[in-house]
Structure 1
């Protein structure tokens, strides 16, 4: 499963069975969430009109970079979101308070960290089902607003990004990062022995 995970930018338009999608999104229960705060939120999007609106908001920069349409072609979009307040609510509970009775100071916004862990679990579950995935995360305020309107997240849920998934199209044209060499393991991993 792990070796099968990779990002793709080309999909066949074949639909994905709903039972398969249910098995994939069940990973939301397996994903870490600090203090078991359960702040993850997902929206599974198969409706063509909503996928079209998402593609209209986000696909053009990829087309400008030489990719074939892929956001609009993916038969499934999964919006990955996180509700930060779920973490604060959990860490205001008596068993999580600091000795002085205050909430933990968050040195890292674990809600975003956990969102990335959920994304990886979704990708691995999709690979296990024979599907391929891609991901895009908006950075432009207008794009974020358009995506949020299309997806329908409540105001208190932050959008991490959108996972595209489906069956990979063979020979999808476009730029590739596969020609880039992996850094040596020694540059990425240090050992404290």
Structure 2
């Protein structure tokens, strides 16, 4: 599939079939794609936790689900819980700070502990890896969903999975096959056109 068709055909799946298997070799191929994302200073500050076995996934859902949602039940949650593979994407901020304290990156005379990061590129770079993984899933014939974990549950998830301190959970990719098409915001909100979000020469200026 060519890139343009791949990008335009990608969408999020919110209800997965519970009876499907995603082979490990496909997961490894997708993670290899994610590992080829660009990164500041070639820091490559990302880590991925793959959950395949039912008890692994249940451990995640138990830690990730706020008590109120667990008590009342949630249709979205039920659909996504059926996904046979979950991939958690973590960003490693300390890896970037350590990389930019090295001689070829450090600013002359600057204190390595006083680094200015107006954009947290450990999050940006990890997110680019996630996008590559999502596109790869589409090409491999898989359905996928990228979703976030409530902020209140980040610590519980990391603790349950033995994730070291200093790593930030960017989000989770669910992989599998769609059971039923469920509409999301893309069905109720129009896609912005290129003309609406492109500015030529200055913000708000049209193409001459």
- Structures share fold, TM-score greater than 0.5: yes
Query: Deviating runs (4+, > 6 A) in structure 1?
Result: none
Aligned position for 1:24: 30
Aligned-partner SS, 1:159: strand
Of 17, 40, 46, the residue aligned with 1:40 is 46
Aligned position for 1:4: 9
Aligned pair count reads 189
Query: Considering only aligned residues, what root-mean-square deviation do their CA atoms show, in Å?
Result: 2.2
Q: Is the 8 A contact 1:51 1:77 kept in 2?
A: yes
Residues 158-177 of structure 1 mapped to structure 2, 5 A cutoff: 158-172=168-182, 176-177=184-185
**Quick one: structure 1 residues 108 and 70, their matched pair in 2 at CA, closer, same or farther if it must change by over 3 Å?**
same
| Cα deviation, residue 65, structure 1 | 6.3
Separation (CA, whole Å) in 2 of partners of 1:135 and 1:28: 14
Aligned position for 1:186: 195
| Cα deviation, residue 100, structure 1 | 2.8
Q: Please list every run of 5 or more consecutive structure 1 residues that lacks an aligned counterpart in the other structure.
A: none
1:49 maps onto 2:55 in alignment: yes
**Quick one: structure 1 residues 93 and 52, their matched pair in 2 at CA, closer, same or farther if it must change by over 3 Å?**
same
Per-residue deviation, residues 127-170 of structure 1 (Å, max 9, x unmatched): 111111112212332x2122213332111211111111111113
Q: TM-score, normalised by structure 1?
A: 0.87
**Quick one: structure 1 residues 73 and 66, their matched pair in 2 at CA, closer, same or farther if it must change by over 3 Å?**
closer
Aligned position for 2:104: 95
Larger radius of gyration: 2
Q: Please list every run of 5 or more consecutive structure 2 residues that lacks an aligned counterpart in the other structure.
A: 1-5, 202-206
| Cα deviation, residue 4, structure 1 | 2.6
Aligned-partner SS, 1:135: strand
Separation (CA, whole Å) in 1 of partners of 2:181 and 2:138: 19
